[in-house]
Chains A and B, each alone.
Chain A
Amino acid sequence: MQKILFIDPEKCTGCRICETACSMHHEKVCNPARARIHVAKWEAAGLYIPVVCLHCETPICETVCPVRAIKRDEKTGAVVIDYNLCVGCRLCVLYCPFAGAGIDALTGKILKCDLCDGDPVCVRFCDSKALQYVKATRANMIKMRKAAEKFSELMQKLLTP
C-alpha cells in the first residue's frame, strides 16, 4: 500500500531541521530559503505549521501545468516535476492552495517536494514526529486516536463532578 506524508502540526517544535536537511539533501547546501519545506511560524502565538506539498490525489498543479511536466511517481506516491519538460511558467506555484510548489530564488527553478525517492529526509530527521511517512491506514488511525482522545477528555469533564 502507498505511503503518504503525514503532517501533525501539534507535534512540531519549530526547530527547522526539516528545512535545513531538505536543502542539504537536494541542493547540497544549507539554505532554508531553497528548501521544499518550510515551517510557517506565528512566534508570538506559539503556532508552528510545516508547509510542504501534500501530493494531492487530483493535483491542481498537474491540472494547470501547460506542458504536462507534473506526474505521479507510482513507486513513492510523490507528485513530481519532470524538469526536462518544465518551462518554469510558475502556474503550479500560482494555483496550489497549499503552497506546495515554490520558486528557487537562485536558479528560478520550481521547488517541489519529491519525497526523496521514497525516503523523505525531513521525516528521517523529524524527531518529534510532526512529519511521518506512513501507510494511509496508519495515518487514519493516528487521526482517529487523536479525535478519540478529545472525546475522552470531554467524557472526563462530564463525569468529574
Chain B
Amino acid sequence: MVWNRKIAYINLSTRKVVQKPVPKTMRQLYLGGRGIDMYLLFNHVKPKTDALNPQNVLIIGVGLLGGIPCLGAGRCDIAAKSPLTGAVGDSNVGGFFGPELRFAGFDYLVIAGKSKKPAYIWVQDGEVEVRDAAHLWGKDSIETQTAIRQDHGDEDIKCLVIGIAGENLVRFANVRTGMKNSGGRTGMGCVMGSKNLKGVTARGTMNLEFAKPEKLLDYCKEMNDMIIGTRWAKAQSRWGTMIIFSNTNTTGLIRTKNFQLNLLEDGQDLEPENIDRYSIGTAGCYGCVVHCRHRYVLKDGPYAPLFAEGPEYTSLGAFGTMVDCKKMETVLVANHMVNKYGLDTLETGGLIAWAMELYDKGIINDKTTGGLKLDWGNEEALFELIRQIAMREGFGNVLANGFRDAIAKIGRDSAYYAIQVKGMSNLHSDERPTPSFALGIATSTRGSDHLRSRPAVDMYGLPEEFLQELYGGPVSSDYTSYDGKSRMIWWQELLYAVTDSIGTCKFQTVFCAVHAPKWNEFSKLIQLATGMKFSKAQLMQIGERIYTVERMFNLREGFTRKDDNLPERYFKEPTPIGLPIAKGKKIDREKFEAMLDEYYALHGWNKNGVPTKKTLAKLGLNKEPTHII
C-alpha cells in the first residue's frame, strides 16, 4: 500500500539520511505528488531563503496513484524555491522515474544542504546512499544516465539528472530523465547544481499493494478506454502535442518573432505531419496509452546522425515561430540540444526570441552579443546561443539568469519586450484573443505558464448549458469573452493541482478533452487503490488547499496582486493578423482586473489576493507552518 512508502530526508552536507513514514493525515489533506511537495516546501524552506543557498530544499515526490497501469500514472513532482522567479519552484515530469522510486520504497526525497564534491543519490529497495559523482560531472544529461547504467550493469535503472546547464547554475536548468522527459520549468536543475547534486537514481523491486487490486485493474482498463476514446487523445497519440499547432497557427494564437506577429506565415514545414519524415514511432511514459512523443532520427544533413525524442508543441514555438525559424529540422536539432544540456525549452526559446527582437530594434547590437548576428531565423545563431547559455559564455551568460537579471543588465526599454510573468517566460502562445488563457498565465503560482490552468476547453465553443454543468457556474462559450472565465481558470487550477498530486497526466484529464476522466473517476481510482474515500467536493477542496499553500508561499516571499499581471504589450498592442476572431485583439485592463477580482473571490482570497482567515480555517491552513512531518 502507499502507506508503507516513506520520506527520506537527505542532508548532502553531512550525508545523513533519515527515513520517516508519510503520515496518513498528509495523504488526506494533500494526496501526494505536488500536494505533499507544496506542504513540505512551505514547511521546510524558511522565508526569504536564497534559492541557491544550501538551506533551500529540493523535494522529489511521487503521485498518490503512481504505478497504476492507466492515465500515465507515473508522474513525479520536483519542488524547491525557484532560482528563476523566487516564487514556488515546481516541475512535473513523466517518464519512468516516479514509479521506480516507489518500487524502491520511497514516495518522497527531501534533499537539503550541499555536497562538498559532486554527488548523486542512489536509491534501491529501501536504502538511500549519497555517492560520489566526480566521474559524471561535465557529462550531458543523456551521457550521465548511460554512464550510471553502465557502472551498475543495469539498463533498468531510472535516473533524474542535470546536464551541464544545471552544473553551471543556469537559472532555468531543468531536471531530466530518459531521452526527453524533463522537469522543465522554474529551474529545478539549477537548485540541484547548487547542491553539487548530479542526479538521483532509483531501482526497485518492492511490491506496491492496493486496497482492491482486481477491481482496480479492471477500472484502469476502463480509464484507458475512456481517454483513448476521445478524438483529442487519438490525434495526440499520432502526432503528439504538435497537433495543437495546426489549429493555433491557422487561427492566429501563436506568437511569432517574439511577440510581433501572432501566426507564422510560410510555417508549413512546422505542421505536425512533417514529423513523419523523421519519426520511427511514438513512445509513451509509464502507464500511458496516448504515447505523445515521437522517436525521431536525422539521417542526413550537418547534424546527422541524430536520434532523439519529441518535439513538443512547445519546441515548435521555442525554436520555430518565436525565433522565426521555419524548418522542422531546426526544431528537431535545437530540441535535442537543450535536452542534452538540460535547459528548459520554453525559457531558452523565450529569451532568445526576446534577444532577437531587441537586436531587431537596435536595443542590443553586435557589440552586446559578442558578434552573434541575432537576425530572425538565423539557425546557426540560435544553436550557438543555446550553447552559450548552457556554458555561460559570452552573451549567453547575460541570458543565463533569466529575464529579470537580463533586463537589469541590458536596460533601456528591454523590459517592455519581455514576454514574461513573475520572471518566467511565457509559452509561445498569444493570449490576447483569449482572456481565459491570459488570466491563467497571470495567476499561475509558478510564473507565466500554461500548465497551471490552461482551459483548452474554451476553444471549442461548447454549449453554455454544458459549460455551466462542467464548471458549476455560468461560463461564456465565446473564447474572446471575459464572462465566467475566472471560474474556468479557478476550476482548472484545482483540477490540475489534484492531477499533479495523484500523479496522472494532465493530458488525460479535462485539458483538451471534456469527456476525459476527472473528479469522480479520480475519486474511484483513489478508493480502489488506497481505500481512502473522497467526494468530488472533497477533492476540489484538496485542490484549493494545495493552490492556497502555493499562494501563501509566494505571499511570504513578497509577491502581491501586482505580480498577477500580464506583459504590458498585452494591453497595448492589438494582434496584427489571424482569422477575424483573433485579429485586432488586446486585453482590456479594466475587464482583466474585474476577472482577477472574481478569481480571487472564487478562491476565497481578498482583493489583494491574500487568503482570508475564513478560507484558511476552512482549509485547515490557519496553523501552518506546523512542521508536522
Contacts and interface: CB of A to CB of B under 8 A. Distances in A.
A106 B103 CA distance: 13
Interface in A1-33: 10-11, 13-17, 20-21, 24-25, 27-33
Given A33-B205, A42-B155, A21 B217 contact: yes
A124 interface: yes
Nearest to A33: B205
B130 interface: no
Interface size band for B: 35 or more
B213 interface: yes
Given A14-B283, A14-B284, A15-B285, A31 B155 contact: no
B87 interface: no
A20 B287 CA distance: 8
A20 B210 CA distance: 13
A46 B295 contact: yes
Contacts of A10: 281
Interface of A: 10-11, 13-17, 20-21, 24-25, 27-34, 40-46, 48, 105-106, 121, 124-125, 127-128
Given A31-B206, A105-B205, A125-B221, A13 B291 contact: yes
Contacts of A13: 281-284, 288, 291
Contacts of A11: 281
Nearest to B73: A20
Interface string B64-81: 000111100000000000
Nearest to A39: B156
B217 A43 contact: no
Interface string B508-545: 00000000000000000000000000000000000000
Contacts of A125: 69, 220-221, 224
28 contacts: A11-B281, A14-B284, A15-B284, A15-B286, A16-B96, A16-B287, A17-B70, A17-B289, A24-B69, A24-B213, A25-B217, A28-B209, A29-B209, A30-B69, A31-B207, A31-B208, A32-B103, A33-B103, A33-B204, A44-B145, A44-B146, A46-B179, A46-B281, A48-B283, A106-B207, A121-B217, A125-B224, A127-B228
B230 to A, nearest CB: 13
B419 interface: no
B309 interface: yes
Contacts of B284: 13-15, 128
Contacts of A45: 307
A15 B210 contact: no
Contacts of B208: 29-31
Nearest to B225: A127
B96 A30 contact: no
Contacts of A43: 145, 155, 178-179
A31 B281 contact: no
B470 interface: no
Interface string B91-114: 000001000000100000000000
Contacts of B295: 46
Nearest to A122: B69
A34 B69 CA distance: 15
A105 to B, nearest CB: 6
B214 interface: yes
B216 interface: yes
A109 to B, nearest CB: 14
A41 B284 CA distance: 13
Contacts of B280: 46
Contacts of B207: 27, 29-31, 34, 106
Nearest to A21: B69
Contacts of B209: 28-30
Contacts of A33: 103, 204-205
Chain A to chain B: the 10 pairs with minimum beta-carbon distance, closest first: A15-B284, A33-B205, A46-B295, A13-B291, A127-B289, A20-B69, A13-B284, A29-B207, A30-B208, A17-B69
Contacts of B442: none
Nearest to B142: A44
Interface string B268-295: 0000000000001111111111010001
B520 to A, nearest CB: 22
